[in-house]
Amino acid sequence: MLALLSVVSGFIGGALALQIDRGSSSGADEVYSQVTAAPVVSDVQDADASVVAQVAQRLANSIVTISSDVDDGFSEGEATGTGVVVTSNGEIITNAHVVEGASEVRVRFAGDTEPIVARVLAADAGNDLALLKVNATNLVAATFAKPGSVRVGDQAIAIGYALALDGGPSVTTGIVSALKRTIFTESGALNSLIQTDAAISSGNSGGPLANMRGEVIGINTAVARGDMNSAANNIGFAISVDEVLAVLEQLREQAAGTTRDEGFLGVSLEARSDGGVGSIIATVQPNSPADLADIRVGDIVLAVDGEPVNGQAGLVAAIRDRNPGDTISIDLVRTGERLSVNATLVARPQE
C-alpha cells in the first residue's frame, strides 16, 4: 500500500463517550417545520460580509448535526457527525459510518435546541453514504454543484460540527488540492474523492465541502494523519458531487426495496512494487468480460473510465457503481505499449 494511503486513519466521525438522554428527542410522529436559523457568522451585514461568510449563511439552514446511539458490544456511547439536507420534505445525506450500528439517530437544525428523530432509509458502506429521513416540511435544501465542474485549485469551504462543539457549525477554508483520489478504508476503497487542505476534524463527517457560490461539491469523509514513517498535513477527502448524486439515486432505490446487481469484470490485481503507476493483472477468469476484452495476465491497469486504479480494492471501487451491461474503458500498459480496451460488465456472481 502506498505511504500516503497507509496513514489514512479511516473515517473522521468518531464516537464520543457521552451520557445519552433519549428524553431530549422530539417525538417521531411530530411534524417538524423548520424556522429561520441565526446566521453562522454573527453581526455581519450582507454588504460587508466576506464570500466565505455569505456561503456559511447560505448553507446554515441546510446543515444538521447528527447524534447516533451506538453499542459495539463492549460499551455504549454517542457518535456524532454532520448531515446535508437534500430535499425540503426531510431527506438528509451523511456518511454511512456516522450512523453505522446505530439504535437511534437524531438530527438537530441550526438555531434549534432540541433534536428530532431520523430514520435511516438506506446505507452504502462501500461508498460511505447514507440517506436519512425526518418527519419534516419546508426544509431548506442545499444546492449541489454541477457534476464535472470542480477543478484543482478551486477555493473550497468545509462546514460541519467539528468535535461536536457547542454552537453552530465550524467553517474552514482551503482549496481543491486534487481530484479522483482513491483511499483505502475498513470497508474497502473509496474512489473519485476530492482532496482538500481545508481543515477537517472529527464531527465533520457527512458535512459539505462547498464552492464559493455556496454549492455542495462534496461530502467530507476522511482525513490523513501521519505516523512514524510518513507525514500528512492538511490532507482531507470528500466524496465528490459526481459520486454523491449517483449514489443518492441508488440509496433511494434501495429504500424503495429495489435490489441492484453490481457490475463484474472478472480479474484480480496485485500492487506494483517497482514504483510505477497502476496495478498488475494477476488473474483473468475464463469467459469473463475481461477475458472477452482480451485483458491478459501481466497487463498493467492504469485507469477505468478515467479513474486511476491502485490495487484490487481500487478496481472494485472503480466499477462498483456500474451496472451489468455497462461498457467501461480500461487504460492498460502491455509490454511497454499503452492501449485502451472496452469491456461490457455482467452481473457479479452470487457467492
Active centre residues (catalytic) = 97, 128, 205
In sequence order, what DSSP letters do the residues of 212-234 get, joined into one string? TTS-EEEEEEEEB--BTTB---S
**Residue type for 134, please?**
V
Q: State how far Cα 27 lies from the chain centre.
A: 29
The SS3 of residue 306 is: coil
- 241: cell is 458531487
Residue with cell 481543515: 199
Of 190, 192, 182, 189, nearest in space to 313 by CA: 189
Alpha-carbon gap, residue 65 to 268, rounded angstroms: 40
Alpha-carbon gap, residue 143 to 210, rounded angstroms: 10
Alpha-carbon gap, residue 270 to 276, rounded angstroms: 13
Alpha-carbon gap, residue 11 to 151, rounded angstroms: 24
Question: CA 225, 102, 263: angle at the middle one, nearest 5?
Answer: 70
- 340: cell is 485502451
Q: State how far Cα 105 lies from the chain centre.
A: 19
